[in-house]
Amino acid sequence: MNIRATLACLAVAAQATASDAPRGDAEAQRKAGEAYVRGVKLKDAEHWGDALAAFELADSLVHHPRSTYAIGACELLMAHHTRAREAFARALEDHRTRKFGTLLPQDERQALIFVAQSERALAHVSLRLSPAFAAVMVDGRPLAKRKTTTGSEWIANIEAPGVGKPLDDKEVSLVLDPGLHVFTFSRKGYRDVVRAETFSTGQEATRSYELERLPAVMHISSDRLNAVVTVDGLDVGTAPVSIERPAGHHRVLVRSRGHVPYQVSVTLGPGEQSNLRAALPEEKPNTLTRWWFWVTAGAVVAGVTAATYAVTRPAPSQAPINCGNTGWCASLP
């Protein structure tokens, strides 16, 4: 980048004073002019950050393509190429529409040159995400989407700090300044991914990132001490217990001797939690399961069997009488 040319062009833009500023509310115009002049002095002292803040204040009070141009020049001097390109493009568009004022002729020419310089310095990355539609932050800022002649691109470091925005596809074109950047990827039901990446000036690269699906978590308790917990047929301990399982359908059984078991089926998504409280009422055995029933029943059956035999057995038959050699037999009454 030609620093001397940038300084010269910014000095020309600085010729805009309060009286040269766009028309508007008189008080706002006065404050905008003061902020602009303060920005020029800070620029001359090479305090780029403070000069940028002054020009941004001037532009917020009374918007004008000259102050936007000055913002772009400060960003470019600090090697913030995405922001510089954005500011110069906005200044040129305002100049074209004449809605907020115009640029000086030399400013217009230099703005076009600076846009081309920034474009050559930027890194272009084909960003691939799995799963699609994950939210992305770069250096703590969400990405900004812009239309291009061939489709669209996502630009880093021009939005205010905040939460990430979901991308609209699983593969997007990303534009960012050369240097070190911290990427943060997030999506509900998945673990966040944080990566540091370094890109060189004008680099074209491809980066792929895959987010890990979070497990489901089940917290299982019971109103019975030491109740055994089984999940999908496997004992996992005694209640209370907390376990992780893959997202999906699971069968839970909680049991305790002498109590009615608790059974339930649960379906959980990635990262979801379930709190189960197993109520195990006492088991009420029926008469057939009590010991005294079978003892009593056995005695009754034995008595009935003996009585039945006594009643139904046939009368005993008398043995034949031996009458001896004479053949005479005496019959007793």
pLDDT the model gives residue 18? 43
3-state secondary structure of 198: strand
DSSP secondary structure letters along 290-327: -HHHHHHHHHHHHHHHHHHHHHHSPPPPPPPP--TTTT
3-state secondary structure of 181: strand
Q: How far is CA 111 from the centre of its chain?
A: 41
292 phi/psi in degrees, rounded to 5? -70, -25
Ramachandran category for residue 273: left, alpha or beta (phi over 0 → left; psi -120 to 50 → alpha)? beta
What residue type is 285 in one-letter code? P
Whole-angstrom Cα distance, residue 58 to residue 34? 8
Give the dihedral sign, CA 298/303/306/312: negative
Delineate the domains of the chain, giving CATH numbers in brackets. 3-120 (1.25.40), 123-210 (2.60.40), 216-278 (2.60.40.1120)
Contact of 112 with 119, CB cutoff 8 Å: no
Residue indicated by tokens 């009754």: 300
Whole-angstrom Cα distance, residue 123 to residue 131? 24
Below-50 pLDDT ranges, the chain:
1, 3-4, 14-22, 332
3-state secondary structure of 207: strand
Residue indicated by tokens 């999940």: 231
Length of the chain: 333
What residue type is 210 in one-letter code? E
pLDDT the model gives residue 39? 92
Whole-angstrom Cα distance, residue 65 to residue 26? 19
pLDDT the model gives residue 183? 97
Task: Evaluate if pTM is beyond 0.85.
Answer: no
